[in-house]
Structure formats: C-alpha cells, structure tokens
Structure 1
C-alpha cells in the first residue's frame, strides 16, 4: 500500500502560518493534483510530504507509516522538480542510475532498472547522450526516469512542465499520463495550470491561502463546485460571474437586461443580492439591439470567444463556433438555459443549492 494521509497538517514559518490544518487522504495508485494560484501553499504541502519542509503540527503517513519526522530518504518518495537538475558531465544512463550507484546497488541491478525505465519513457536511443544534446522534454523524461529507477512508493512532481514550451507541455502531459497508467504508482502533482489538473488527475485538491477549498474528481469540481473560487478556477475560460438580486423567487440579472432566472435552489430573502455564474459554453449570442456589445472577438480556429461589455461594467465571455461572425462593436442579446446557471451567496461566496 502506498497511499498518503495528512491529518491536521500545519506549517508555520515563525509566527506566519502558511498551511492551516490540512486533512487529506490520497489512495494507493491515485493520481492527485494540487492546484491553486501562486502562493496558495501547494508546493509547500508537497515538500512537507517529501520531508523537505518540516511539518510544524499534525501527522503525515505514507503506506500506513507515520513519516512526519522521518528523513526524506526514508519516506519512500521520489521527487521530480521544475528544473531538471541533471549532471551535465554524465550520460543519460549515468544520470538515471546515479542514485542507485551512490546507495551501493550492484551494476547489474542498476543496468536492469535503468533499462526498464528507459523502455517506459522511450529513452533507449538517448542513453549514451549527455544532457546538452537533449531537448527540454527529453531532459525532463530523464529526470522522471531517475525517479522511476528508485522504485518509490510515491512520485512527487513539483510543476515539472513549467520550463517547457506549449507544444512540449502537451506532449509531456501525455507522457506522464501514460506513465501513471503503465506503472500504477501513487503520484502527487503540483501545478498552477488547471488544464494540467483537469487532464491528468484522478483527484484534484484546490488550495487557497493554505486551506483546502474542495477535493474531488475533475468533473465533480467542474460540474459541482462548492464556492465561487472553485467555480472560477476550474474551467477555461473561467466562469462568468454577474451580480443578481432575488425577486419573486427568481434571480434578476441587471447585466443581461434584467432577465429573470427561475431556479429551485434555496435562495435568500426577497431583494437579497446573489452572484450568478454561467460558463462561456452555456451562453449564446444573437445580434440584436440591446445593452450588451461585442468588445473583442478571439478566434481559435474551430471555436471563438466573444468578450462582451455590459452597461453595468461586468464583462462576459461567450464561446461560439469559429465561423459565426458577429462584428466587434455589435449589440447582442445573450441567451442561456436557466438550468445551467449557478448561484452563490454574495457575502460568503458559497454555492447556493
């Protein structure tokens, strides 16, 4: 078993607390992604699991063992960093086997383990090369291979794709997903990129300011967010948020020409303010005289995004087909299915259900 459990995990730097009593269970073989904005504590939490940051309070267990005070080398983890950290004077084969060599493992075992990792990562033809002769993606694969040969219980990835260009990032996402499928190990992955989180994760942990906002599968978080923060962070482009007011058991939205949205959720009292959330793909535009205008149109080939300006000052993004041409500056009417609308408390920003 190689699951990871955190119980009331706390991290302080002096008087400053950055991780606030985190409770989390990561199952054996699960691919768990920590996601959130810069400074939310995701890398700190990962480093606490690795033993690179001391846990101030609480407990961390790996494979049922309490490793809260254990040295990093005794935790059964291997970490892949944002920087490749390869030895430039060593070949790919030597880089991948160096950790085992330092631990006194015999040459035959090292060669066997490096060969297996090379097969998994398709590095056979590069084993005799040095890092300077490799692309960024190939170097990152070598860094992952170095982790594989150690045979860890848990793989830890700290924003491993941040230094790669857009095309390589897509390729490496596929490589990491395939790696997890092949070896079935527990993996914990840190990123600020919610697209990486959505495409890789079995479980996503959304963090903000050292607190867990919500935990769930990618589609659970996308379809059923607990609050405005999660709703806005998961999904690209982000969910649209507009001010609304309760009137007669419905929600009136001034930004959309005072359209009234019927709903069965438990709304606050008459006249109370709420926040209305609608995803770009759930909206449609029709060219018509009205208070909403097309500000910018962004074409991406098969789809386009219309950035709309309302008289209330709120901006709305609408996903449209790439060949649907509504000129910039045109007045439009925005339509949607009321069932697609989400509602959030204006003060707490928690989801109204």
Structure 2
C-alpha cells in the first residue's frame, strides 16, 4: 500500500479557479477524510486524485509514481461513489467481478478475489441476489466489494453514505472502519458530515472555498482549532460564538455574562474578539437571570438547552443528569476561563495566550 502526496495542486474551469494550490501528504495506510461545506472543493479534489478531473497545475504522487497526467485506470485507485452504480441485471457475484472479467483476468482468480471480498464484507448469503433484492446498505457493501477485488493501492470514497437512512449510516460507518482496520489500505473519504469525519478519520482535512483551513487528527482539530471556521465546523452541536472585546486587559463577553482575566496581551486592548465556548463546557446556573431558555432538546442521557443571551445572541448548553432546564425560565451561564476560545473578530484567526 502507498500514500498520496499533493504538491501545489490547482484546478481551474476556464477562468474560474476552484482549488487553490493545495499541499497535502497522506501517509501509507492512513484514513484521511476531506470535510467541509457544500461547494468547498472536496469532491473535486477527490476526483483529481482519481484522475476523473484534470489537474491544471501542480503535481500528484501515489507512492513514488507521478500520476498527475496518468489515466484513471493507471493510477491504482478504486472509487466508491454516492450512488451504488450496480448493474441491475447482474448478481452480486457478477457485479463484484465484472471489472476483472472485462480486463481479461482468469475466472479462477476472479472467484478467489470475489470470495475474499465477500468474506470481508459478510456478503456470502447475497452472492446470487440481484441489486433489487438488497437493502441500501447491502448495495453499498457490494459497491465497496467491487472496489476491493481490484486490489487498489488507494481507496476513494465520495460521500458513500449520503443516500442511506440514519440507522444504516451508523451501521455502514462501523463497516467501513472495520474494513480499514482489516485491509490496512490508504483511504480518502469525502463527506460534509463532520460526525462521519470525527468517527472514521486518522486525519481530517478541513476545506473551505478550495483551500485547506487545517489538517490534523480529529481530536486535535476539536481541541485546538486554528480559526473560527474550523472551531465552528468540527463539533456537534457547533461551538457557541459571542461578541467580545478587550477592556482594561480583560476579555469582556456580555453574551456569556462574564469577564476573563489574563487571556490576551495588552496589544489587544480595545480590540473586538469573537469568544467561543463549546456546549459541553458551559453549565446552567439556576440562580442566575441573565439568559432565557427558549427551547430544550432532550435526547435521553443528554439535553441541549437553547438560550438567548442579554445581547440577543443564541447560546447552546449541554445538560446531563436528572435536572434539566425549563423552557421560558431565566437562568445564568457558568464557564471556566480555561475552556473558552478567542478569535480575532476581523481575521477569524485563533488568538492563543
């Protein structure tokens, strides 16, 4: 198995540039997830790795090979699409082995590889069924099996779970994670769902408008975001942001009803900030009266209280235990100064003490 390296990769459609000089190193055997909002360029970048989109400028290597100008079939990659793209008149067995058959592989080799992929994906009992007799999750497993039998150096997944219902998405996330552990291949996975990114990835690449905002392990991005965009995108519910400012060396955050000492240098005196706090780092003070509880979402073991601050900003607070907030109540909010994040209001870059 081999890694993937992108060096100043650019993609243009005519005069419109959609990928802006991306540098990225994906290690051998790593599970790398491209994540970001719709239109950020994540699928385009994946298709460039596959060779389905031409690279306008820059270089792309898979292992030691420069594949920048290679045809897709020469790159040693296999792609799993959002749509299953199965032949409806063929059985599962024939769908999985069709690519090898078209390339002239002997039947004994095809049977061996299909049997191995079937074992990995637990599809033995479905081999003689046609796609119409399968569930959505089973069809996607067949699609993945078709990629496995090719024996690629790199697996590419383009939002493979987006057509599945919530229960099947969870099931298939587990299946894909198990698959990666079993075969140890390099995998690149595109999703707009940051929960998928957090649960599957060894490395997350956060994209926005064709640029990389930050690269790192899931919990590193969660705990140590470089900017407000990453802080707000990684985490569910999203991080809270309220307006703040530095006054007399203190961070004043009226939306949280609090001031914090010793977090910024005197160079920030009078400067506008964005103050971030994750819902699980906030707690309700029933004795306070600064925030109104607009809505409470109870999910069983955890609830989320949606509050309106004195400044009109919305705050989400995670609650656990038997005592939950009551809609319409006036409450206070508590937070430890060590649990807040500060961002420059203009550049949105993280301010680190």
Query: Where on the TM-score scale, by shorter chain, does this alignment land: which range?
Result: over 0.9
Q: Secondary structure at the match of 1:288?
A: coil
In the alignment, the residues of structure 2 paired with residue 44 and residue 10 of structure 1 have an alpha-carbon distance, to the nearest angstrom, of 11
Q: Show the counterpart of 2:233.
A: 233
In the alignment, the residues of structure 2 paired with residue 98 and residue 63 of structure 1 have an alpha-carbon distance, to the nearest angstrom, of 27
Q: Show the counterpart of 1:224.
A: 224
CA contact (8 A) 1:92 1:142 kept: yes
Aligned length: 352
Deviation at 1:271, TM superposition (A): 1.7
Q: Show the counterpart of 2:51.
A: 51
Cα deviation 1:168-227 (Å, max 9, x = unaligned): 000000000000000000000000000000000000000000000000000110000000
Q: Show the counterpart of 1:280.
A: 279
Q: Which moved more, 1:144-153 or 1:316-325?
A: 316-325
Cα deviation 1:108-134 (Å, max 9, x = unaligned): 000000000000000000000000000
Superposition CA RMSD, Å? 1.0
Q: Show the counterpart of 2:186.
A: 186
Q: Show the counterpart of 1:84.
A: 84
In the alignment, the residues of structure 2 paired with residue 177 and residue 194 of structure 1 have an alpha-carbon distance, to the nearest angstrom, of 15
Q: Show the counterpart of 2:345.
A: 346
Equivalent residue runs for 1:158-197 within 5 Å: 158-197=158-197
Q: Could you tell me the TM-score, scaled by structure 1's length?
A: 0.98
In the alignment, the residues of structure 1 paired with residue 303 and residue 262 of structure 2 have an alpha-carbon distance, to the nearest angstrom, of 29
Q: Show the counterpart of 1:100.
A: 100
Q: Show the counterpart of 1:262.
A: 261
Per the alignment, do residues 169 and 326 of structure 1 end up closer, same or farther by CA in structure 2, a change over 3 Å counting?
same
Q: Show the counterpart of 2:308.
A: 309
Deviation at 1:321, TM superposition (A): 1.3
Deviation at 1:256, TM superposition (A): 2.5
CA contact (8 A) 1:246 1:268 kept: no
In the alignment, the residues of structure 2 paired with residue 246 and residue 146 of structure 1 have an alpha-carbon distance, to the nearest angstrom, of 58
Deviation at 1:261, TM superposition (A): 1.1
Cα deviation 1:58-89 (Å, max 9, x = unaligned): 01110110000000000000000000000000
Q: Could you tell me the TM-score, scaled by structure 2's length?
A: 0.98
Cα deviation 1:132-175 (Å, max 9, x = unaligned): 00000000000000000000000000000000000000000000
CA contact (8 A) 2:251 2:263 kept: no
Q: Show the counterpart of 1:35.
A: 35
Deviation at 1:265, TM superposition (A): 4.1
Q: Show the counterpart of 2:61.
A: 61
Q: Show the counterpart of 2:333.
A: 334
In the alignment, the residues of structure 2 paired with residue 151 and residue 182 of structure 1 have an alpha-carbon distance, to the nearest angstrom, of 14
Q: Secondary structure at the match of 2:328?
A: coil
In the alignment, the residues of structure 1 paired with residue 340 and residue 46 of structure 2 have an alpha-carbon distance, to the nearest angstrom, of 35
In the alignment, the residues of structure 2 paired with residue 131 and residue 289 of structure 1 have an alpha-carbon distance, to the nearest angstrom, of 59
In the alignment, the residues of structure 1 paired with residue 202 and residue 58 of structure 2 have an alpha-carbon distance, to the nearest angstrom, of 25
In the alignment, the residues of structure 1 paired with residue 283 and residue 25 of structure 2 have an alpha-carbon distance, to the nearest angstrom, of 40
